[in-house]
């Protein structure tokens, strides 16, 4: 390396390497078609369950309650409400499962000794972990954006579009927040996984369970209180609640006009637009604070683990220097 | 010639297993230096320490005059490493793979384009640059691995068993490339291997066994010190051996022939001249690195004869 290259390296620090590594991780994820399919399996199951039987069942239950109040002809409004609920489930599960699958490159790299290549190169120690976070978040955002576009098209074609421009922007904002939060959590957790077998296990378990936990397969209110409380401890559940508020608000307003505010309130609880957190009701702001708080917490933990991992090395060097003196 | 790498008292243990036990060695600039040993002898551990991948327990290492403890950041750009198992990504093209690694060294834009063009012609990568790395043949992959090691024009090319698992033809190709780099580019080559013929072509060989240096020197020195030349006489091995023993030679029947250990070519010539009737068909065999290795470690190398 000549003096100019060295100077350039110092000036730009590891940002060029960070950019290239992030692109690399993202490309590896996007070029693996099977991985993309599996990352979207949970959202696809949500869709399939809804289309095959859950959708009609839910709509029938709501229509029956409305009929009991003497409200008829609400099929379209109820359909829109239930469709929006399903779309919220698809989007919220995608913001968890896509970053999870994108974390696979971390485990692969560990197995293949890429960490050795990085350690032997003049790359700052933070560049690789930061690139894993950025690429998993980018994968989450790219695929979630694609899923959002498809979901919106679905709503429009099914005649269930009840979103205002503000709802759309809020939905995009929640997507970003949810992706950042789940990516921080998952990169932190996957950082401890050493083998690909363990990662596959996590992938399968989380991919299966997450749809239930965040209430994407069926409304959380259908579960016992204990399960609801447990689910409420997961940031993804709160993100799912936020998605529902963005996507179902318009449809709920439509139903409020047809029935009564009290009925709408009951529906909001039933379809988890608000969460039952150990007997307390968590509204939009509580959910927003939980997701943002979890994002900050896990980002801080990520940084902390990096600092701690770098410490013994520094200590060893110091002790060696002392030995020499 | 100036020393580019020096290690003193290098030691590393994995728990209770002492992988490297306080070894000393020096590599001269522009030379081809071989670390020869069986699997688990401590070769890769030593390389990983030099390359900042593993932390050593004790000892001192300098590369290019920089101390490994004090200035690892100065040492890393001096070394280019070809790992035993590839570290390039199967799904990415060779060019994408190399571009990512070039960024580690601050190489991008036009400077990188020029370097890539140079490496492509040097290693014959033109046809494979745009192909996914995972779709390449063993030899093509190894060339791409070498290109990765050379992206930043290192002073020392470190190769950790670069030809293990390759077919003989590919092994020869890789070997020609490495030799070419040393001769034409004046690059220092630091190699670990368990192939005798690879070590035989080096300027200096260090034989490592059980984490310790068992022998060190040029292949010629090692062969002179640790191996014996012998004369193989064909015919009725047992009868020839008996007759030569009667004349006071250390002769033994071996596989249908008679083998006489001769310290020098002169002595062999003398036997041939004195006993032409016993030496109708003969072969003078120089001691090789296999013998050296066996003599200093008491072990045979797998694949040594390949």
| Closest in B73, B92, B104 to A17, CB measured | B104
Q: Which residues of chain A have pLDDT under 50?
A: 1, 7-11, 314-325
Cα of A134 to nearest chain B Cα, Å = 16
pLDDT in tens, B186-238: 899 999 988 888 888 899 999 999 899 999 999 888 888 888 888 889 988 88
Residue A163 falls in which region: left (phi positive, over 0), alpha (psi -120 to 50) or beta:
beta
Burial class (CB in 10 A: 0-12, 13-18, 19+), A103: buried
Q: Do A112 and B85 touch (CB under 8 A)?
A: yes
**Per-residue pLDDT at B4 exceeds 90:** yes
Percentage of chain B beyond pLDDT 70 is 97
pLDDT in tens, B72-125: 989 999 999 999 889 999 999 999 999 999 999 999 899 999 999 999 998 999
Q: How many residues comprise chain A?
A: 325
pLDDT in tens, B165-181: 788 888 888 888 888 88
Q: A9 is written with which tokens?
A: 């390296």
pLDDT for A311 equals 65
Q: How far apart (Å, rounded) are the C-alpha atoms in residues B240 and B225?
A: 28
CA dihedral defined by B183, B185, B187, B191, rounded to 10 degrees?
A: -60
Q: How far apart (Å, rounded) are the C-alpha atoms in residues B155 and B75?
A: 10
Q: How far apart (Å, rounded) are the C-alpha atoms in residues A137 and A160?
A: 30
The β-bridge relationship of strands B188-193 and B32-36 is parallel
pLDDT for A179 equals 97
Residues in chain A with CB shorter than 8 Å from the CB of B153 are 1
> For residues B29 and B1, is the Cβ–Cβ distance under 8 A?
yes
Q: Is the pTM of this model over 0.90?
A: no
Cα of B239 to nearest chain A Cα, Å = 59
The structural domains of chain A, with segments of one domain joined by +, span: 40-318
pLDDT in tens, B142-168: 999 999 999 999 999 999 988 887 888
At B126 the three-state DSSP class reads: coil
Model-level ipTM above the cut of 0.90: no
pLDDT in tens, A200-245: 999 989 988 998 889 888 888 888 888 888 998 999 999 999 999 9
| Closest in B52, B105, B111 to A9, CB measured | B105
Q: Do B87 and A117 touch (CB under 8 A)?
A: yes
Q: Do A5 and B87 touch (CB under 8 A)?
A: no
pLDDT for B195 equals 82
| Closest in B99, B101, B106 to A9, CB measured | B106
pLDDT for B99 equals 96
Overall average pLDDT of the B125-139 stretch: 94
Q: Do A16 and B108 touch (CB under 8 A)?
A: yes
Q: Do A23 and B100 touch (CB under 8 A)?
A: yes
Strand order in the sheet with B79-82: B79-82, B156-160, B188-193, B32-36, B204-209, B212-217
**Per-residue pLDDT at B302 exceeds 60:** no
Cα separations (Å) of A75 from A70, A81, A159, A315? Answer: 14, 10, 11, 69
Give the B-side interface with A, CB within 8 Å: 48, 51-53, 55, 69, 73, 76-77, 79, 81, 83, 85, 87, 89, 91-92, 96, 99-101, 103-108, 111, 152-153
Q: A263 is written with which tokens?
A: 């009925």
**Going by C-beta distance under 8 Å and a sequence separation of 6 or more, which residues neighbour residue B15?**
none
pLDDT for B33 equals 94
pLDDT for B1 equals 65
DSSP code, position A53: I
| Closest in A16, A122, A317 to B76, CB measured | A122
Residues in chain A with CB shorter than 8 Å from the CB of B157 are none
What mean pLDDT is reported for chain B?
89
* Residue with tokens 């200096």, as numbered in its chain: B204
């Amino acid at each position: 390396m000549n003096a100019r290259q060295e100077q350039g390296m110092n000036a730009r620090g590891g940002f060029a390497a960070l950019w290239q590594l992030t692109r690399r991780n993202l490309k590896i994820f996007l070029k693996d078609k099977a991985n993309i399919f599996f990352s979207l399996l949970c959202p696809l199951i949500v869709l399939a369950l809804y289309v095959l039987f859950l959708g009609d069942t839910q709509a029938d239950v709501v229509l029956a309650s409305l009929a009991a109040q003497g409200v008829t002809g609400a099929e379209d409004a109820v359909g829109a409400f239930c469709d929006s609920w399903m779309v919220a489930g698809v989007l919220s599960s995608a913001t968890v499962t896509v970053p999870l699958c994108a974390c696979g490159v971390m485990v692969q790299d560990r197995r293949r000794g890429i960490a050795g290549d990085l350690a032997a190169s003049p790359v700052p120690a933070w560049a690789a972990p930061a690139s894993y976070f950025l690429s998993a978040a980018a994968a989450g955002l790219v695929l979630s954006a694609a899923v959002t576009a498809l979901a919106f098209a679905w709503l429009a074609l099914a005649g269930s579009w009840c979103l205002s421009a503000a709802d759309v922007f809020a939905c995009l904002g929640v997507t970003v927040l949810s992706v950042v939060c789940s990516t921080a959590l998952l990169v932190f957790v996957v950082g401890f996984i050493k083998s690909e077998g363990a990662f596959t296990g996590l992938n399968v378990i989380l991919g299966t369970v997450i749809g239930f936990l965040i209430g994407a397969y069926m409304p959380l209110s259908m579960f016992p209180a204990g399960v609801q409380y447990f689910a409420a401890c997961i940031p993804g559940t709160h993100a799912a609640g936020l998605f529902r508020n963005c996507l179902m608000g318009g449809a709920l307003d439509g139903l409020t006009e047809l029935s009564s505010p009290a009925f709408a309130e009951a529906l909001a609880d039933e379809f988890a637009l608000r969460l039952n957190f150990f007997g307390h009701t968590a509204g939009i702001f509580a959910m927003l604070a939980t997701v943002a708080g979890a994002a900050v917490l896990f980002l801080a933990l990520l940084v902390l683990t990096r600092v701690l991992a770098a410490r013994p090395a520094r200590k060893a060097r110091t002790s060696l220097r002392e030995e020499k003196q | 010639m100036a020393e580019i790498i020096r290690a003193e008292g290098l030691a590393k243990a994995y728990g209770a297993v002492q992988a490297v036990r306080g070894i000393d060695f020096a590599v001269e600039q522009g030379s081809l230096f071989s670390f020869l040993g069986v699997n688990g002898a401590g070769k890769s551990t030593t390389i990983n320490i030099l390359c900042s991948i593993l932390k050593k327990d004790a000892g001192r290492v300098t590369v290019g005059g920089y101390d490994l403890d004090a200035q690892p950041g100065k040492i890393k750009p001096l070394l280019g490493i070809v790992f035993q198992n590839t570290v390039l990504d199967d799904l990415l093209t060779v060019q994408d793979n190399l571009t990512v690694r070039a960024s580690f060294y601050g190489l991008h834009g036009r400077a990188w384009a020029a370097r890539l063009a140079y490496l492509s012609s040097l290693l014959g990568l033109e046809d494979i640059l745009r192909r996914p790395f995972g779709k390449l043949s063993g030899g093509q992959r190894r060339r791409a691995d070498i290109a990765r090691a050379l992206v930043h024009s290192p002073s020392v090319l470190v190769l950790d068993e670069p030809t293990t698992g390759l077919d003989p033809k590919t092994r020869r190709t890789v070997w020609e490339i490495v030799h070419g780099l040393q001769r034409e580019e004046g690059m220092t080559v630091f190699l670990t291997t368990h192939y005798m013929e690879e070590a035989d072509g080096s300027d200096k060989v260090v034989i490592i066994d059980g984490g310790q240096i068992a022998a060190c020197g040029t292949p010629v020195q090692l062969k002179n010190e640790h191996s014996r030349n012998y004369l193989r006489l064909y015919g009725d091995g047992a009868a020839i051996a008996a007759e030569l023993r009667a004349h006071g030679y250390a002769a033994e029947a071996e596989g249908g022939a008679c083998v006489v250990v001769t310290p020098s070519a002169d002595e062999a010539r003398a036997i041939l001249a004195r006993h032409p009737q016993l030496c109708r068909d003969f072969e003078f065999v120089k001691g090789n690195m296999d013998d050296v290795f066996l003599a200093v470690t008491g072990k045979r190398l797998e694949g040594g004869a390949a």
